[in-house]
């Protein structure tokens, strides 16, 4: 079996349903990155999602893109909120990856209300994004975010600008929050109507680290057992038309890809509730 490919919104690209979350490369050397790339190729992953703020990730990706031109849909992100600094960050990202354009440029973690208004107003990053699209430096424009308000916020963002993609958390425990679940489903419905790609993150998030010792590079405590990861990944992939961005840890990446490769059907809510209870899962955002 191989990982399914479906249309990435209206971009014309069929992406694997598991997109490579390149945050996993932020603090690794090139040899580790190259081993990661070999693993991605084995599973047929054809979509890379990185960001200017992901440490050395853009630098680690550059050799792959040079050796395999045209093999990946390449997405990066900017944390800038004003047009001038956003343009500078985009050109720095292009230089670091050794490319003349990216397929998708995303407004990173657009959650704070003041940042949101700045970014989507005249002189904001959205102005730079539209200009970059006109100049051929980016092909599509997306928006990303975290937090319990982000599904509702993305709905506002889509009302303000015709984004090509959104990215936000999606896992069983987060969807037990009624406000989040209601807005997530409404967002997905809008995206389906408008052919906007829906990318999801935090598939195997278990709970915040709190006072526990960090054993992985993720900022949350992740599931670690293959059977548990299978169940969490399959639950996400059981939602039609959404994409799963892989975990930000190269050690856990093989487990997530293996689960995705073997996906057949979505676990029941009872099975997920059992996993949540047994693992003492908690929402990352309240």
Percentage of residues of the chain with pLDDT beyond 90: 88
For 135, the enclosing helix (H) or strand (E) is: none
Residue that has been written with the tokens 């002189």 in this structure: 123
Mean pLDDT of the chain: 94
Q: Is residue 284 part of a domain?
A: no
Within 10 Å of residue 189's Cβ, how many Cβ atoms? 11
Is residue 23 helix, strand or coil?
helix
pLDDT tens string 212-261: 666 566 756 888 999 999 999 999 999 999 999 999 899 999 999 999 99
CATH of the domain at 12: 3.20.20.100
Domain that holds residue 202: 5-278
CA distance 6 to 14: 5
Integer Rg of the chain from CA: 18
Q: Is residue 285 part of a domain?
A: no
The domain tally of the chain equals 1
The pLDDT value recorded for residue 105 is: 98
Report in angstroms the alpha-carbon separations of 248 from 28, 50, 85: 11, 10, 26
31 CB-contact burial (10 Å; exposed 0-12 / middle 13-18 / buried 19+): exposed
Q: Is residue 189 part of a domain?
A: yes
Q: Is residue 175 part of a domain?
A: yes
Q: Report which of 89, 97, 60, 106 is spatially closest to residue 201, judged by C-alpha positions.
A: 106
Q: Is residue 124 part of a domain?
A: yes
Q: Is residue 283 part of a domain?
A: no
User: Which residues lie closer than 8 Å to 120 by C-beta, 6 or more apart?
Assistant: 110, 126, 157, 160, 161
Q: Is residue 286 part of a domain?
A: no
Residue that has been written with the tokens 């399914």 in this structure: 4
Query: pTM of the full predicted structure?
Result: 0.95
pLDDT tens string 80-124: 999 999 999 999 999 999 999 999 999 999 999 999 999 999 999
């Amino acid at each position: 079996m191989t990982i399914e490919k479906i249309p990435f919104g209206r971009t014309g690209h069929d992406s694997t349903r598991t997109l490579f979350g390149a945050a996993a490369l932020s603090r690794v050397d090139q040899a580790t990155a190259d081993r990661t790339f070999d693993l991605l190729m084995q599973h047929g992953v054809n979509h890379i999602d990185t960001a200017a703020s992901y440490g050395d990730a853009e630098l680690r990706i550059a050799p792959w893109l040079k050796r395999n031109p045209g093999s990946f849909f390449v997405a990066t992100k900017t944390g800038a909120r004003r047009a001038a600094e956003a343009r500078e960050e985009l050109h720095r990202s292009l230089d670091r990856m050794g490319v003349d354009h990216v397929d998708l440029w995303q407004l990173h973690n657009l959650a704070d209300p003041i940042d949101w208004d700045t970014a989507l107003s005249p002189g904001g990053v959205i102005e730079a994004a539209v200009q970059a699209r006109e100049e051929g430096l980016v092909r599509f424009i997306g928006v990303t975010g975290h937090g319990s308000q982000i599904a509702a916020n993305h709905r506002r963002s889509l009302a303000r600008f015709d984004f090509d993609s959104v990215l936000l958390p999606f896992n069983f425990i987060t969807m037990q929050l009624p406000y989040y679940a209601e807005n997530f489903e409404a967002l997905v419905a809008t995206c389906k109507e408008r052919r906007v790609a829906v990318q999801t993150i935090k598939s195997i998030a278990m709970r915040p680290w709190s006072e526990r010792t960090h054993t992985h590079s993720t900022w949350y405590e992740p599931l670690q057992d293959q059977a548990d990861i299978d169940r969490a990944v399959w639950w996400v992939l059981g939602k039609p038309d959404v994409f799963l961005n892989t975990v930000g840890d190269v050690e856990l990446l093989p487990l997530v890809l293996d689960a995705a490769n073997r996906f057949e059907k979505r676990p029941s809510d009872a099975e997920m509730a059992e996993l949540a209870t047994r693992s003492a899962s908690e929402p990352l955002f309240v």
